[in-house]
Structure 1
């Protein structure tokens, strides 16, 4: 919630895509954010949907498509040791319509 409030402050977020430009420059923050949301996508998909719509102003499918190139390699490498990762991969595929 604190991150969401900070993001929505005028100097952090502007409805015309300024947040996306900011987050693309801060690669470490973007990767951590995407990792966090990926972990929640199987257990709390509604939260991820609300985040995508409120902060990025896009539908969940479009948001997940932006996340996939960042999180997919990590998920594929770690899937052998973690059954939860398989659930996450399945959810990502469902959201993207695969």
Structure 2
């Protein structure tokens, strides 16, 4: 989950978090269309999963959360328990952020 300069939150998946962050922050041709229009400023939260299918499921459900629930996940360092009815949250591990 990326915080953008307009205070919006972008959610996506990647196999290489550091590389993808560099792409978003550089705003080159490999950044997402969203972060090209809404400049990324900070990595707020990230999770790891065993495979792309699980990552895509988590991305889908986070993208469909209301903004206030996304903010709760970020600000209160809550895990994704809000999604426990839809996902096996034990399949995901929150990553400690370095940025």
TM-score, with normalisation over the residues of structure 1? 0.26
Larger RCO of the pair (alpha carbons < 8 Å, separation 6+): 2
TM-score, with normalisation over the residues of structure 2? 0.26
Determine which structure has the larger strand proportion and give its number.
Answer: 2
